[in-house]
Amino acid sequence: MKGFVDAPNYFIELLEGGTTLDDVIDNHVYEQSLAEKNAFVVADLGALMRQHVLWKTTMPLVRPFYPVSCNSSPVVIEVLSALGVGFVCANKAETTLVLNHDVPPENIILSGVCKQLSLIKHAAKTGINYLVFENELELRKIARAHPEAKLLLQASNEAQVEEASLTIGCSLKGCRHLLEMAKELSVNVVGVTFQVPASCRDPQAYTHALSDARCIFDMAKELGFDMKILDIGGGFSGSEFQLKQVHSIVRPLLEAYFPSASGVSVIAEPGNFFVFSSFTLAVNVIGKKAVYRDLHCSTHDELTPNDAPEFVYYMNDGVYGSFMGKLFGNVITTPSVHKMSLTLDEPVFSSSLWGPSCDPLEQVVEHCLLPELAVGDWLIFSNMGASGQEDCFWLPFFISPIPKSDGVMIEYRFCTNRP
């Protein structure tokens, strides 16, 4: 085992051998049980890299651009950058983070259809030329503050209109007006971007979106623009089945509308796809109360399911930390119990899980079935990569494993200090 300081807020250990992700969690649960019992996050960089391999083998002609807002943990940026992934940034903090990891400005897209003027100027100053726009006011701001920008026109689509109360993107009818305005302002529009929501189950959504994109490309050509970028957006859940399903729909459409001979580069914005399964969160139970249907049965020696108690557990992390995604509608799945003495036949009870504050919004899981827990027990939440980790990076942070070319497994372990 070797340890060295990588940066003021990081400590890295290299662990060689057959250590598994579960071993890392077990060891740190034991360490924390003897200390402060802080919540901590484990990132499996092997899973992150496997997702990249899955993408490259399934969608070889579509280059991924990772939306930093999905999970801005520096280790994610560093690994994806090394793999040649581009980045979509929404604000100055994200662009600074990515640039600090030596990502070339040409591999960065500044998203957002209503950007502050200072952000546009910052993009111009740092050489970030790819900007997204969808309206005339935004176009005029960019023309004034960043005349050398290479713009991507955000187009709306039917699926997005049905899913969202506020439609992002310009209608097909309005796109021509914006292209004409860009021509008058001498601003270069180099491509089209659209979004199909992950919740959309209609396979025809991509048909309509790509057909509209082809129309916009044709409009642009008539006006003298030479568009070379098509961004098919995000909406990739992370499952191999869903990715292959999308590919089976998109591939023939791309071959028909944007054949390789056209010279158009196709990109996408997989966020959850990369990080969803790569992060695991361990939290400690810090409080507990039982709610009985029969108030006369408030004392007991041994509980059984027939007693029907409901347990309320309080954890040392909540919606204002790692579970912030819950506030935006993310579904938090039932955790597993990290309890060495747990037996297979142990009864389970109706339970709800809450964060540490008294805020009524702090309910993390409304209902789940768990064995009776004690204060000090640990709960393990998997698939936490897109649940707000960028906002809780003060948590102790452990990285595991990265396969080397010689087959040796090396694990990176580092933690940050809470600011």
Q: C-alpha 224: how far from its chain's center?
A: 37
Give the residue from 41, 26, 12, 100 showing the smallest Cα distance to 383.
41
In eight-state DSSP terms, residue 297 is G
CB–CB of 396/28 below 8 Å? Answer: yes
| Residue 23 CB contacts under 8 Å (≥ 6 apart), including other chains | none
Q: C-alpha 107: how far from its chain's center?
A: 18
DSSP H or E stretch at residue 80: helix 74-82
What beta strand segments (E) does 27-85 contain? 40-44, 62-67
Cα dihedral 92, 95, 100, 101, rounded to 10, equals 150
Residue from 170, 358, 368, 415 carrying the catalytic annotation:
358
Give the residue from 317, 299, 340 showing the smallest Cα distance to 387.
317
Structure tokens at 261: 């001979």
170 is catalytic: no
- CA distance linking residue 345 with residue 332, whole number of Å: 25
Q: C-alpha 307: how far from its chain's center?
A: 41
DSSP H or E stretch at residue 5: strand 2-7
Which residues are known to be catalytic?
A: 358
